[in-house]
C-alpha cells in the first residue's frame, strides 16, 4: 500500500459469514465483542483475515454488517479507511503460517490522541491474551543538510521519552517495555514489526475525521511492509 492511498469506506460492507464462531476463551476480557470479517469468501485475503480474527477475538460474535462491529478484520488487499472502529489488517500468507498466536504486541507512541487510543486497546489485548507489550516512540531525524542526515532534535527526544513514561505508567495490570529510537519513523516501525505478533498504531486525527480510521503517511507505509498483522485504532 503506497503513502497517500485513500480507499473508500468499509462501513457499509456486507458479509455472509456465519455468526457465533466458537473458540478458546482468552485469559482476560477482550476489547472486542462484535467482529466483522471483510473479503470475498474463499479468497486468500479472506482466509488471512479469518486467521487473524480467531487469534484476536476468538470468542467474539461475528456480525454481517460492518457498522455493527467494534472490530473490522481485513486482508492485505482490502480497504481500511473510513471505519468507525479499530481495523486489523492481516499480512499476506498469515493463514498458511500455522500456529499464529498473540505473544508480543508493539504499539507506537507519539503523544497524539490516536496513540493514546492505540495504547489503551493494546493494553487490553495484552491483558486478555497474556501477551508482552512494548511501547515504541521514534524521533525522526532533521532534514538532510548537504546530503548528510541530521540527528533528531534533542527536545523532541526528551518530549517522547516523557510521553513514553507517562503513557505506560497509566496502564493497569500490564507490564510494558519501552523503546525510544531515532530514525525514519516508518522504517524503524517496520523493523520492530519483524519481532512482534501484532503492531498497534493510532489513526491520524484531524478536523472532521475524529472517530474514524484515517491513514497517515507512516501508517500507510507500514501496512504495505509490516510482516506482522497491524491494528489501526481511530482517534476519539
Q: What is the pLDDT of residues 62-106, one digit of tens each?
A: 998 888 999 999 988 667 778 889 999 999 999 998 888 999 999
Q: DSSP class of residue 66?
A: G
SS3 104: strand
CA 47 – CA 66 distance, rounded (Å): 18
Question: What per-residue confidence (pLDDT) applies to 15?
Answer: 35
Whole-number Cα distances in Å, 205 to 6, 186, 209: 15, 18, 7
Confidence class of residue 210 from pLDDT cuts 50, 70 and 90? low
Question: What per-residue confidence (pLDDT) applies to 206?
Answer: 55
Question: What per-residue confidence (pLDDT) applies to 69?
Answer: 92
CA 19 – CA 16 distance, rounded (Å): 9
Question: What per-residue confidence (pLDDT) applies to 235?
Answer: 82
pLDDT, mean of residues 132-141? 89
Question: What per-residue confidence (pLDDT) applies to 171?
Answer: 81
**Residues in a beta bridge with 61:** 34
Residue ranges with strand state E in 109-197: 132-139, 176-182
CA 64 – CA 130 distance, rounded (Å): 29
Predicted confidence (pLDDT) at residue 12 exceeds the cutoff of 60: no
Whole-number Cα distances in Å, 138 to 32, 113, 163, 178, 184: 28, 16, 11, 11, 8
Question: Which one, of 177, 179, 175, 189, lies nearest residue 217 by Cα?
Answer: 189
SS3 178: strand
Q: What percentage of the chain exceeds 70 in pLDDT?
A: 80
Contact 12, 63 (CB under 8 A): no
Confidence class of residue 184 from pLDDT cuts 50, 70 and 90? confident
pTM of the model: 0.81
pLDDT, mean of residues 20-44? 68
- Name the phi and psi angles at 20, rounded to 5: 75, 35
Dihedral class, residue 26 (left if φ above 0, else alpha if ψ from -120 to 50, else beta): beta
Confidence class of residue 142 from pLDDT cuts 50, 70 and 90? low
**Residues in a beta bridge with 36:** 72
Average pLDDT, rounded, for the chain: 79
**Residues in a beta bridge with 199:** 106, 230
**Residues in a beta bridge with 182:** 139
Whole-number Cα distances in Å, 74 to 19, 189, 191: 17, 21, 22
Amino acid at each position: 500500500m503506497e503513502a497517500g492511498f485513500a480507499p473508500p469506506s468499509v462501513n457499509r460492507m456486507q458479509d455472509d459469514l456465519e455468526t457465533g464462531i466458537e473458540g478458546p476463551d482468552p485469559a482476560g476480557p477482550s476489547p472486542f465483542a462484535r467482529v466483522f470479517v471483510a473479503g470475498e469468501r474463499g479468497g486468500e485475503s479472506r482466509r488471512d483475515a479469518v486467521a487473524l480474527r480467531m487469534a484476536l477475538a476468538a470468542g467474539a460474535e461475528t456480525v454481517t454488517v460492518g457498522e455493527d462491529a467494534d472490530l473490522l478484520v481485513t486482508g492485505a488487499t482490502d480497504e481500511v479507511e473510513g471505519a468507525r472502529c479499530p481495523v486489523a489488517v492481516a499480512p499476506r500468507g498469515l493463514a498458511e503460517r500455522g500456529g499464529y498466536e498473540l505473544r508480543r504486541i508493539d504499539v507506537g507512541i507519539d503523544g497524539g490522541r490516536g496513540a493514546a487510543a492505540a495504547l489503551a486497546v493494546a493494553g487490553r489485548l495484552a491483558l486478555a491474551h497474556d501477551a508482552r507489550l512494548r511501547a515504541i516512540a521514534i524521533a525522526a531525524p532533521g532534514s538532510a543538510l548537504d546530503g548528510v542526515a541530521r540527528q533528531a532534535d534533542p527536545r523532541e527526544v526528551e518530549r517522547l521519552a516523557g510521553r513514553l513514561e507517562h503513557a505506560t505508567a497509566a496502564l493497569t495490570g500490564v507490564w510494558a517495555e519501552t523503546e525510544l529510537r531515532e530514525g525514519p519513523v516508518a522504517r524503524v516501525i517496520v523493523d520492530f514489526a519483524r519481532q512482534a505478533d501484532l503492531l498497534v498504531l493510532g489513526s491520524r486525527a484531524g478536523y472532521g475525521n475524529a472517530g474514524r480510521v484515517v491513514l497517515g503517511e507512516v501508517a500507510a507505509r507500514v501496512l504495505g511492509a509490516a510482516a506482522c498483522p497491524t491494528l489501526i485504532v481511530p482517534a476519539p
